[in-house]
Amino acid sequence: MDGFSSDFAAGAGGAGGAGKVDAGLIMEQVKVQIAVANAQELLQRMTDKCFRKCIGKPGSSLDNSEQKCVAMCMDRYMDAWNIVSKTYNSRLQRERARM
Amino acid sequence: MEAAGADPALQRFIAAESQRQRFQQLVHGLSEMCWDKCMDKPGPKLDSRTEACFVNCVERFIDTSQFILNRLEQTQKNKAPFSESLSD
């Protein structure tokens, strides 16, 4: 994490000092940061939802049935995410076509 | 950052990415909300009833958001300005 942000600052600052900021480099780094942020967002929400669904009373370990439940829950959460994304996207297209 | 802001290609990139990010953010939020409304115990497959529930959930959320926006607009037209009605 630290390496990532200091690389970013060094890259932008170094190029800026030379006269012009390398826009391509910035775009690449922004894309990576966005992808990381989105993965973290999904991970955090998925963990929260699947913990609630699968772990009723936390025991001394994550037992077999809980692990199975969490695995299925992860897959179903991804399914749900994709359906929501597709539905929302097609709704946006329809709204745009109406205007 | 000044030099970066002046670059038109970079500005276009930032605008496009910001929009994509707003979309992604809404999908995260809607997924979470509709999961609570639609999902029972997660099974080995997403059944068609649950899938339909997710689709309806997204569509009705957007309808609700538009309805609220329209109604707020209407009441604003017919009544005192928004700032006044908020302050009483």
More confident position, A7 or A87? A87
Interface confidence: ipTM more than 0.90: no
Q: Which of residues 19-48 of B touch A (CB under 8 A)?
A: 20-21, 23-28, 30-32, 34-35, 38-39, 41-44, 46
- Tens of pLDDT, residue by residue over B15-72, are 999 999 999 999 999 999 999 999 999 999 999 999 999 999 999 999 999 999 999 9
Assess A89–B contact: CB distance below 8 Å, yes or no: yes
User: Which domains, and CATH codes, for chain A?
Assistant: 23-98 (1.10.287.810)
Q: Please tell me the predicted confidence (pLDDT) of residue B13.
A: 92
Q: What is the rounded CA–CA span in Å between residue B27 and residue A82? A: 9
Break chain B down into helix, strand, coil percent, rounded to 5: 85, 0, 15
Number of domains forming the structure of chain B: 1
- Whether the predicted pLDDT of B10 surpasses 80: yes
Q: What is the CATH number of the domain that holds B15?
A: 1.10.287.810
Q: Is residue B84 part of a domain?
A: no
Q: How far apart are CA A64 and CA A51, in angstroms?
A: 14
* Interval A9-51: pLDDT, tens: 444 444 444 556 788 888 999 999 999 999 999 999 999 999 9
Question: Looking at the domain assignment, is residue B48 inside a domain?
Answer: yes
- Decide if B86 is inside a domain: no
Q: Does A16 touch chain B (CB under 8 A)?
A: yes
Supply the pTM of this predicted model.
0.78
Yes or no, beta carbons of B17 and A73 under 8 Å apart: no
Tell me how far apart the alpha carbons of residues B6 and A87 are, in angstroms, rounded to a whole number: 36
Q: Which domain holds residue B39?
A: 8-79
The pLDDT > 70 percentage for chain A reads 79
Task: Please report the pLDDT score of residue B77 as a whole number.
Answer: 85
| A84 Cβ under 8 Å from any chain B Cβ | yes
Query: What are the chain B neighbours of A75 within 8 Å (beta carbons)?
Result: 42
Burial class (CB in 10 A: 0-12, 13-18, 19+), A57: exposed
